[in-house]
Each structure stands twice: as C-alpha cells, then as structure tokens.
Structure 1
C-alpha cells in the first residue's frame, strides 16, 4: 500500500472532485478513508459521518471550504498527518498558520493533478 489518505469533505455525488479523488487514489493503490456529511460508498470506500481517530494518516486531502473547516481544526491536527493538501476552493490561510505552528506540511494543490503527474 502507498500513502494512507483521508479524503475530507467526501461526496457520493459522481460529479464532485472528492468523488473522483477517492476513485483515483484507490486505483493508484493508496489506502483511503473518507469523511463527509452524508454516508455512502465510493469505489469500495465507506464515507464516515462521525469523526474517527484513523491511525497512520499520511495525507489529508481537503475538499471542504474554509468556513466549514473551522470546527475540525483540532480533530484534523490531532490525526498528526504528515501533510494536508488544500484542493481548489478549500484554501484556508487561517488554518495554514495553525498547521505551521504545529509543524504539519501543507500545500494548495489539486490531488487529481498530483496523482496524474506522479507527484502525489
């Protein structure tokens, strides 16, 4: 298995980028877990609606807008990921400062592009 990834803001709607990301991550061999506001399954990955203390998270790929992220800062940093990728529309300078203080790497990038260019 490659990097364990939490898709945060996952959606069962097939036209959503978080949905595409789950499918691409799974097909690329990554261990994927997902959190969203509605339960469902995408490419065999269950979308959890409760905050779970997933062990061994390498990367969180963020698909939730900055305003909605605020209530999850403590939870997300508590997972101790190596990095958080803020996909387009999820950029959050306030959270960036918190991550810097905690020594968690972050980048504003598109997970789908990173995967397609072997930079994930």
Structure 2
C-alpha cells in the first residue's frame, strides 16, 4: 500500500480532499493529512503543521497553485515518489521543481485513480 499525504485536507464531507481520505482508507492505504483545521476524517487525524512524515510514497494536492508555493520545500523534503495534481491544482512551475528533485508529477484525479485501480 502507498503511504499518502493529503495536502489541503478538509473536514467538510462534500470536499474532494475529504472524499479522497475516505477512499484511500477504504483501499487500505496509510493516510496522513495536513489542512487548515485540525480534526479527524475516517480515523485520520488532520494536522495543521508541516510534520516530518516518514516514508511518504505519494502526496495528493488539494491546494490551488498560489497556495502550493509555501509547501514546495516541505513536499520536496518528504521525498515522495510522486505528487498528484488533482483538477484545479495544475502548476507547471512546481512540476519543474519536482522533476529537478527526481519526484514524479502526475496530473490526475486521486478519486478516479482509486476507482479504476490505477492508484
């Protein structure tokens, strides 16, 4: 299973990041979550600080490109294998930084990848 960090996690059930946490848990992935408000979704604690999570395989983004900037160095420091840019998060500037650090940038929808067994 791929240990995944959901960045831009929301406590609101109608948000895609919330749905992603639920589906990742249902697919038996280990999930970490960082958001604006602390709380819990599907047994996953959402934290507000940039924790030094270990062994992150995938970061799935739910932040618009402008909001991503403050997380560039943080995400790179986690050394994930890939970063998924969900719809609305596309960011060519960040793709280049990730490539320079040997991290795959994947423009996709986490929910679709899970639903089609391509995650």
Q: What is the 5 A alignment of 1:18-29?
A: 18-29=17-28
Q: Provide the aligned C-alpha RMSD in A.
A: 0.5
Find runs of 4+ consecutive structure 1 residues off by over 2 angstroms.
none
TM-score under structure 1 normalisation?
0.98
Q: Which residue of 2 aligns with 1:56?
A: 55
Deviation, structure 1 residue 40: 1.0
Give the SS at the match of 2:60.
Answer: strand
Alpha-carbon separation, structure 2, partners of 1:71 and 1:27 = 30
Alpha-carbon separation, structure 1, partners of 2:30 and 2:70 = 25
Q: Which residue of 1 aligns with 2:40?
A: 41
Deviations 1:6-29 (A, max 9, x none): 000000000000000000000000
Q: Which residue of 2 aligns with 1:89?
A: 88
Give the SS at the match of 2:9.
Answer: coil
Q: Which runs of 5 or more residues in structure 1 are unaligned? A: none
2:29 is aligned with 1:30: yes
Deviation, structure 1 residue 106: 1.1
Q: Which runs of 5 or more residues in structure 2 are unaligned? A: none
TM-score under structure 2 normalisation?
0.99
Alpha-carbon separation, structure 1, partners of 2:90 and 2:102 = 18
